[in-house]
Amino acid sequence: MGASASSSLSLDMTPEVRDSLLSELLAKCEEVLSENPDNRCCKHAIQYLNSDEGKNMSNEDAMTFYKCIRTGVDNPDSGLGCYAMTPTDYSKFGGFFDKVIRDYHGDESGSKKHETDWDTDDADYDVKKLGQDELSMRVRVGRNLLGFNLPGKMSKEERIKFELRMLPAFEQLVEKYGGKVHSLTPDFGDS
């Protein structure tokens, strides 16, 4: 779907216009997938857009779904290429995201279960004993906190509020392990 077609997506479009734009999106995904068979976004978007769930999207949902998959369409060599804008997108577009996630984790059957085990026993994580003087850690905002959108939908102001909310946790890490925090928005945008 080109820039002109995507800009035609609107809340007040007629069902015929929406269907035409979604057909154009479907064709673009098929084109991308034919040249980039590892593009999970387009692979599963094609299935989704052909499903009853995909065909019956409201105008608002069609606009949000396009935002979720746009990076996979615009970057054909992407292996994943789709990002929920809000936590509810995972359930709203479950027929799409569930398949993408299972494909990514090699679990078409859905039988794998993720288990988190934070028990480190008595492991020693002193990096100086490993011959390193410094260790750099990046905290990626790939998930969200309650009350915040996911990164793809965050405005600059919301990112600043998110970072301010996270600073106390970062300060505890600095206290315990040393180092310093480098903000992506120095002075929190007040330049």
Would you place residue 39 in the very low, low, confident or very high pLDDT band (cuts 50, 70, 90)? very high
Whole-angstrom distance, CA of residue 38 vs CA of residue 32: 10
Cα distances (angstroms) measured from residue 94 to each of 43, 87, 109, 143 = 15, 11, 15, 17
Helix (H, G, I), strand (E, B) or coil at 25: helix
Is the pTM above the cut of 0.75? Answer: no
Helices (H), 51-184: 52-55, 59-74, 89-92, 94-104, 156-177
Whole-angstrom distance, CA of residue 160 vs CA of residue 183: 9
CA atoms within 13 A on the CB side of 73: 21
Task: Specify the higher pLDDT residue, 26 or 139.
Answer: 26
- CB of 141 closer than 8 Å to CB of 162: yes
Task: Specify the higher pLDDT residue, 116 or 111.
Answer: 111
Nearest partner of 41 among 7, 66, 6, 60, judged by Cα: 66
pLDDT tens digits, one per residue of 6-15: 556 778 888 8
- CB of 42 closer than 8 Å to CB of 30: yes
How much is the mean pLDDT over the chain? 84
Cα distances (angstroms) measured from residue 18 to each of 31, 32, 66 = 20, 21, 12
78: left (phi over 0), alpha (psi -120 to 50) or beta: beta
